[in-house]
Structures are given as structure tokens and as C-alpha cells.
Structure 1
Amino acid sequence: MVLFAVMGLYTIGYGFSLSFAEWNGFTPNWTWVGLDNYADLLWRDPVHAPAVREAATNTLWVVIAVPVLTIAISFPLAVLLNSVKRFSGVLRSVYFLPHVTAGVAVYFSWQYILEPNGAINTLLGALGLGSLEQPQGWLGNPDTALGTLVVVMVWSAVPVAVLLYLAALQSVDPAVLEAAQIDGAGWWRTNSAVVWPLVRTTTLVVGLLELRDALQGFQVFLVMTNGGPGNHTNVLGLQTYTYAFQSELRPTLGLASALGWLLFLAALLIALLSHRATRKAA
């Protein structure tokens, strides 16, 4: 209880109080500013408000794309893995590798692959698709940088989603599938009209998990692009980190705390909506 009070309640209260203050992290006293930090982030400050709006737009694209793509890839893949009889354990282990190897080292590996002379451009050239190569690298081109990071996030998210779908598929009553086949439903019809509705609760869980990670995650953006090129991959989580540790402007720890609380409120709203949707689905 003492550990929870110190590391949990005190930290939360401290951070919430800091969101109403201006502090550089070193001086013994804060400068109380009230709601100025929130006003500066949302509309008032000519420097911070546009940066936050741009980061919010990028975050919105990530929040939409990552869950949708993860679900669109994971469910068919889980169906295929569930139908494999031989070497099923080996195949599931192979598809789960991206999750257990995810981390800073993997992001550096992706950077190497996506360089101007990296494996992606080399492969495209070898296949005669040189027109698709990116001379600046896939992370150096403003038009492809954010989409490329979304692909990396989906690559990391698919294994857990596949595992959840596999668990849901194995709980489906075989008699239901046999009845669909007897009625003349093919593979596509069975999975789209019978299996997919039966695993909708799992779909909501996967969507909620990926919404949370896409909204609050920033590690991949920090390591691979640091928000570049030209803030085209800057997201709210990274913007919060920048205010806290990298800003060269006026003391911005209070701004970082305020933006963190705005992110928390957004995550809480998404969680409440998802919980309500899950209850309806159940």
C-alpha cells in the first residue's frame, strides 16, 4: 500500500498539479499559471498550439490506420493458421517473433532496411520496380514517413492480435461450421458470415489495445524519426516527451504535464466508448 501510494497516487497528484504551473525541473519553486498551459496548447500560443494541432492530426491518422490494418491482417492470418494441421506450432512461433523481438534494436534494424541504400529500395530495383524507390529513404520522404511508421507499428502489433484471434477461433463450436458447410457455404462465406460475427468481441478487444498503443505510444517515432522530416511524423506522445526533455523554449514541463493529461482524457474517452461497445456486442 505504501509503495502504491508513493509511486502511484503521489506521482499522479504531482503531475496533475504540475500541469497548472511553469517549471524548468531545477528551481525549488514553481510558477503557478492556472489554466494557461491548457490554453496555450489548445489555441492561444502561436508556437505551441499549431505544433499540437499538427501532432494531433498525425496521431489521428495513426489511431485510425493501426487498429484497422492490424485487424484486417490478423483475422485472415489467424484463420489460415487455425486451419493448418502440420507444423502449426512452428508457424505460430514464427509469426509471434515480431512481438518478442520488438524494441529499440528492432527499430534500428528497420531504419537500416528503410535507408536510401537499404533492403527495400534494393529489392524494388531488383524486381524492376525502380520507379517506386525512395531516393531519400522511406523515412526521409515526407509523403511516406508516417505511413512507413504505421507499417512498422502494425508489424509489431499483429502477433498479439493473431494470438487473441486464434484463442477465439478455437472456442467456436465446430457444429456451427459444419452446419454452414452443409448449407453450401464456402470458405469465404463461412468465415465472413459465420466466424467473423462470432469473434466480434475479440475484434473490439484488439481494436481497443491498438487504439491505446497508437494514442499513447511514441517510442517508435522517437527512435526512428524523432518527429521528422519536418514534423511529419510528430505525434502527441512524442510532443509530450519533447516538451518534458528536449524543449529549448521557456520551461515546458508544465506544458508536458498538461498535454499528458489531455492524452489521458482522450484515452479514457476511447476506453469508455469501447467498453460500452463491448457490452453491447456481448
Structure 2
Amino acid sequence: MTAASSEAVAGAVSPLGRAGRGPHFRRREKAWGYAFVAPALLLFAVMGVYTIAYGFTLSFARWNGFSPRWIWVGLENYIDLLGGSPVYGPPVRAAALNTLWVMIAVPLLTVAVSFPLAVILNSVTRLRTVLRSVYFIPYVTNGIAIYFAWQYIYEPNGAINGVLGALGLGSLQQPQGFLGNPATALPALIVVMVWTAVPVAMLLYLAGLQAIDPALLEAAKIDGAGWWRTNRSVVWPLLTGTTAIVVLLNLRDALQGFQVFLIATNGGPGDATNVLGLETYRLAFLSELAPTLGLASALGWMLFLVALVIALVNQRMLRRLR
């Protein structure tokens, strides 16, 4: 039997032969593929596309969450939030100012703490894995537990006031607690955010440090550069891309995060720790001036637009660095 006749017999006998792999078989194969991915696509369409479109449409209306109809107001929600309303404008401006301070302080402090810490850990030869795990604990610990723990630390009878009293620095103590003083509440919560952000930033820097060619560091030492000069003039410029990523991640958290402000102070005292993310939550669920769900949706979309602009700027900067 020739090779051609053997192939013909195999194709006729086997269900996966040439006849079986015709257009009908390919259509059945595609149909099965679509059937397997259909549940995921349906879930994404319902939970993703539908909710996004629903929220965007809601930002142009007024609704209290219960009435069967919306009241269409066009751009009025956005205008009110940008200062057109004497009721909603001032809280949003105050929250925007607090958010700006958080967006400036958290990335800068995170970089200032995590980079030196990563350099020190990279030079440690013993217990390096243990130290990484210890420093990573704040990130893997439940956020709510962390916020309540810091609440205790900042209380009038908390750990910080106790330490200041023991050191004879009673003038720096806060009788009402660090979270009860409008002048110290926001900086205190910024410290909490930095404390939870440092572990990830430290690991990113540590990965970048281990990717640096040792020959570059040896060349710097041969040229007479000390530890400080090597890290400032050689290591730091090589990790510019990592720094941009760390800054972007912390900008995102500072812009959109509100959990710590909700749990620790609920925006108080007064509006000293109110941020835009928390103000969005308040408008949606806690406002006594119903209906405000449309205002909350509009503010959420404004935050999304700002986050998108920051991401695009960061992407362009990374391209230039390459």
C-alpha cells in the first residue's frame, strides 16, 4: 500500500481525519469555545460594562436610590461640585485640599523611607529573608485591624503620648489625642498610609537593586566613590523607573483611598481629614440632603479622570526614561 492510500484510509477511518476537520467541525469547535467563555463574558458585561455605564449616566441625574425615576439635570451635578453650589462646593474644596496634601506627602515620604531601607536590606547578608518578612507584615495585615491599632496609639492615653511623657516632652503631648486635634489629625493619618505603603515600595526597590550590574558598583568604588556617593550618583538614577512606579501607586491610593479616613476619624475633627474619596462615600450613603447619589457618581467620575491623567503623564515619563 502506498503512502497516499494509507493517508486516505486513515482519514476515512479516523473521526479526526480530513473529513472531520472540515468547516462543520471548525464551527462546532468555535461554538464550544464560545460556550466556555460565555459565563465570564456575561459576568463582565453585567458587573463591568453595565455598572460603568449606569454610574456614568447617573452622574447626570438626581436620585435618592428609592424613587422609580431619575431627575435629569445634565451638567448641574458637576457644576455644583466645582463650586456652583454653596452647600456642596465648600466641603468638596476642603476635601480636595486635604487630598492634595495627601497626594504630595504620601509618595514623597514613601520613597524617602523605602529606598534607604531597601539599600540597607540589600547589604545585609544574614537574616535577609526574615527581615523582608518582618517589614512586609504591615501590607499583609488586615487594614481595619491596622487602623484600629493606630487609633489606640494616637489616643490621649495612647502609646505616643505615653512615650513623650516618659521622655519629658510633655509639651508635645496632645491631651485630646493626635486624631482629635485638627492640626495633627491629617499628618497622623498620612503616617499610617506611609507605614502601610512602605513594604511594597521597599520590595520594588530591592528587586531593582538586585538587578543592577555589580560591575557598575565596583567601577564606582574604584573611582573613589563612597557609600553615599555611590547610592546617590549611581544607584538612585538607575532606579528612576522604579521610583516612578512607586510614586504612581501611591498617588492612586492617595487619590482614591478613603478607608483609613473613614475608620479612624470619619473625616473629623470637623472636616480636617475629609478627602475626596470619603466625600464621595458621604454623598452616596451618609448625606442628609437627599438625593445625592448623582453627585456622588459625578465626583467619582471626576476622581477617575484625574487618576487617568496621572496615569497618562506617568506613562509618558516612563517612555522618556527608556
- Using structure 1 for the length normalisation, give the TM-score: 0.99
1:171 counterpart residue number: 211
Amino acid at match of 1:196: W
1:207-252 deviation digits (Å, cap 9, x = unpaired): 0000000000000000000000010100000000000000001310
1:256 counterpart residue number: 296
1:143 counterpart residue number: 183
Instruction: Specify every segment of 5 or more residues in structure 2 that has no aligned partner in the other structure, as ranges.
Output: 1-40
2:307 counterpart residue number: 267
1:195 counterpart residue number: 235
2:5 counterpart residue number: none
Looking at structure 2, the residues matched to 129 and 280 of structure 1 have their Cα atoms a distance apart, in angstroms, of 49
User: Paired residue for 2:141, among 96, 101, 107?
Assistant: 101
Percent identical residues: 72
2:162 counterpart residue number: 122
Does structure 1 residue 81 correspond to structure 2 residue 124?
no
Report matched runs for 1:202-221 at 5 Å.
Answer: 202-221=242-261
1:111 counterpart residue number: 151
Q: Alpha-carbon deviation of 1:102?
A: 4.0
Amino acid at match of 2:283: Y
Larger Rg: 2
Looking at structure 1, the residues matched to 146 and 101 of structure 2 have their Cα atoms a distance apart, in angstroms, of 23
Which 4+ stretches in 1 moved above 3 angstroms? none
Contact 1:168 1:202 in 2 (8 A): yes
Looking at structure 2, the residues matched to 190 and 130 of structure 1 have their Cα atoms a distance apart, in angstroms, of 41
Looking at structure 1, the residues matched to 262 and 118 of structure 2 have their Cα atoms a distance apart, in angstroms, of 31
Amino acid at match of 1:122: G
Looking at structure 2, the residues matched to 28 and 146 of structure 1 have their Cα atoms a distance apart, in angstroms, of 40
SS in 1 for 2:74: coil
Amino acid at match of 1:160: V
- How large is the Cα RMSD of the aligned pairs? 0.6
- Using structure 2 for the length normalisation, give the TM-score: 0.87
2:197 counterpart residue number: 157
2:287 counterpart residue number: 247
Looking at structure 2, the residues matched to 144 and 43 of structure 1 have their Cα atoms a distance apart, in angstroms, of 27
SS in 2 for 1:143: helix
Looking at structure 2, the residues matched to 88 and 144 of structure 1 have their Cα atoms a distance apart, in angstroms, of 35
2:130 counterpart residue number: 90
1:10 counterpart residue number: 50
Looking at structure 2, the residues matched to 32 and 155 of structure 1 have their Cα atoms a distance apart, in angstroms, of 44
Higher relative contact order (CA 8 A, sep 6+): 1
Contact 1:102 1:156 in 2 (8 A): no
